[in-house]
Structure 1
Amino acid sequence: MYRLLVTVLLMVISYSSTAIVIRHDVSPEQYLVEKKPPYLVYMPHEGQGTLIAPNWVLTVAHVIFYDYKGKYLTIGDKEYAIESVIIHPEYRKLDKTVLAKGTKMVMDFQYANQDIALVKLATPVNDVTPIALYPSNDELGQEVMAYGRGATGNGLNGAIYESKKQQVLRKLTNKIDEVKAQWLSITFDQNEQATLLEGIDGSGDSGGPVVVKKDHRTYLAGMFAWDYVEGPLEEFVAGQYGNKSYQVRVSSYLDWISQIIKTN
């Protein structure tokens, strides 16, 4: 039973569930990223973050696996030491005790969670421009582009978990089809409903930036976080058409982010 719960945990939280899974009818090469966005940061263990200020990287709390103080992040062509990590005070880890209560309890837990963290760098980044945070609450219906380097697969067959070891950076497009208090949601559509590079996030992608373009400027609107599941957890198949995932809604945390930066 314990091993089953661990497996389900890996499926439900996107750092270990699926990854950027692509359309079956589009060449995989079109999803590859030739040049990593300069604001995209790879976290020390797994997952990603985004440079939002010279001294600050924003990420999801569940990719902070241990004390990262003194670890280094590569930004641009340089390495920067981590001075501290500040996790939202209302973040809670999803563990086996929650998983044992079934799908509804797990989904309710995820909806209520505050899965966000700030990483302070010991020295400022001067040669990379931080991305702006999306300042509005009109995300619904907007097309986004997002990045991840986890596992891959296609919407017909789902994700191939073992492929995450390749750590190949890919991009996807999708549309925000649901907005909740602290979450944005995308669905893996197909046929005429799908965007050109339709995809969905997952394993190894957590914290990956979900960006929008407005008035010729790129904004960070969200960060990959978790998969929505219906039915028994143990029967969930990641990365198939029709699946839905949730991203941290950055606009709902603007005050918290501003307060942390000002007081640190």
Structure 2
Amino acid sequence: MLGVLFAVLALASAAFGCGVPAYPPLVSRVVGGENARPYSWPWQVSLQYNANGKWSHTCGGTLIATNWVMTAAHCISSTLTYKVLLGKYNLAAQEAGSVAASPAKIIVHPYWNPNNVANGYDIALIKLSQHVTLSDHIQLACLPPAQSVLASNTACYVTGWGRLQTNGPLPDDLQQGLLLVVDYATCSKPSWWGTTVKRTMVCAGGDGIISSCNGDSGGPLNCQAADGTWEVHGIVSFGSSLSCNYYHKPSVFTRVSAYNSWIKQVMASN
């Protein structure tokens, strides 16, 4: 009987590996954000906080294990109560198969300094109070190999429920936007981000048309590997204070591959 159980578990984990959505995303080379295909980014979560009994979306996040979510450190406040919504597409609708999970523990990178975002370390891990069951709507993201750096012009997708434009409305439906990676040599030029950007970050976008925006913070930068699986290479960290899609000010992401060992260590010791 145990042999049958292990076989079933093995099949389940094979069916739900990482980075392979049951509903593949519709990825065209269009410019401008667009509604994502429902449930095509099944590791995307909505981090919500409670104010006066009402829950509101504040940030995105990425499911990296059945009980761990990765987000940005700047999304976390010690004074707020959070919950994580998984398996969501439309935040305003009741959706079959979606799950609300409460954090058991939130670990912000020890070197994160909220007064110096440019220092980096904008990463936090949320341990959920229970394991979530993987499904067509809830799946794990793959993390990239440690220290891997994306080539210039790699096409990636930022996803989230952030504002549709600077000071614009918040969408109910999950959005996706195509962003091309800008290499460090370009992004660190004085006319781009200069010394604000570090090698532990990923720049993407900067065409003045499409970018991450308020509310996308903490969410994933999804890039497709050679074998077709999706890897989350970035965590939305910051953008220009002038506007979300400012020319030559690409969206800046925490580079996940710079933190593989920290992620592993936190998950193993908590």
* Corresponding residue SS for 2:218: coil
C-alpha distance after superposition, 1:106-148 (max 9, x if no partner)? xxx3331311100001111122321110115131222111102
Task: Quote the offset at 1:162 in angstroms.
Answer: 3.9
Are positions 1:149 and 2:154 aligned together?
no
1:122 is aligned to 129
Between Structure 1 and Structure 2, the one with more helix by share is 1
Question: Distance between the aligned counterparts of 2:245 and 2:169, measured in 1?
Answer: 13
How much has 1:78 moved relative to structure 2?
A: 1.9
Partner of 1:49: 61
Higher RCO, 1 or 2 (CA under 8 Å, sep at least 6)? 1
* Structure-2 residue corresponding to 1:242: 248
SS at the partner of 1:224? Answer: strand
8 Å Cα contact 1:68-1:82 kept in structure 2: no
Note the C-alpha offset of 1:208: 1.4
Q: Give matches, 1:77-226, under 5 Å.
A: 77-94=98-115, 109-127=116-134, 128-136=138-146, 137-141=148-152, 142-153=154-165, 159=166, 161-164=167-170, 166-179=171-184, 180-189=198-207, 199-214=210-225, 215-226=227-238
Query: Hey, what's the Cα distance between the residues in 1 that align with 2:128 and 2:108?
Result: 15
Out of 174-183 and 208-217, give the one that drifted further: 174-183
Retained in 1: the 8 A contact 2:240–2:246?
Answer: no
Structure 1 regions of 5+ residues with no counterpart? 1-25, 95-108, 154-158, 191-197, 230-235
The Cα of 1:62 is off from its aligned counterpart by 0.7
Could you tell me how far apart the structure 2 residues matched to 1:175 and 1:74 are?
A: 28
Task: Give the deviation of 1:249 after TM superposition.
Answer: 0.2
Query: Are the counterparts in 1 of residues 211 and 244 from structure 2 also a CA contact under 8 Å?
Result: no
2:259 to 247, 253, 263: 253
Secondary structure class of the residue paired with 2:114: coil
Q: Equivalents in 2 of 1:83, 1:260: separation in Å?
A: 14
Q: Tell me the distance in 2 between the aligned counterparts of 1:113 and 1:242.
A: 20
Instruction: Name the SS of the counterpart of 1:251 in structure 2.
Output: helix
Quote the Cα distance in structure 1 between the aligned partners of 2:31 and 2:269: 47
Instruction: Look up the SS of the partner of 1:66 in the other structure.
Output: coil
State the shift of 1:83 in Å: 0.2
Residue 45 of structure 2: SS of its match in structure 1? strand
Counterpart-to-counterpart distance in 1, 2:163 and 2:101: 27
Matches within 5 A, 1:12-51: 31-36=34-39, 37-45=41-49, 46-51=58-63
Q: Distance in 1 between matches of 2:244 and 2:43?
A: 28
Taking every aligned residue pair, what percent have the same amino acid on both sides?
25
Give distance in 1, aligned partners of 2:249 and 2:122: 21
- SS of 2:139's equivalent in the other structure is coil
Distance 1:252 1:238 in 2: 25
Secondary structure in structure 1 of the residue aligned to 2:267: helix
Q: Please tell me whether the aligned partners of residues 48 and 85 of structure 2 are also in contact (alpha carbons under 8 angstroms).
A: no
Q: Do the aligned residues in 2 keep the contact of 1:68 with 1:85 (CA within 8 Å)?
A: no
Q: What is the rounded CA distance, in whole Å, between the counterparts of 1:65 and 1:140 in structure 2?
A: 34
Number of equivalenced pairs: 203
- TM-superposed CA distance for 1:32, in Å, is 1.1
Compute the RMSD of aligned alpha carbons: 2.2
CA distance in 2, matches of 1:41, 1:204: 12
- Structure 1 CA distance for aligned equivalents of residues 62 and 243 of structure 2: 29
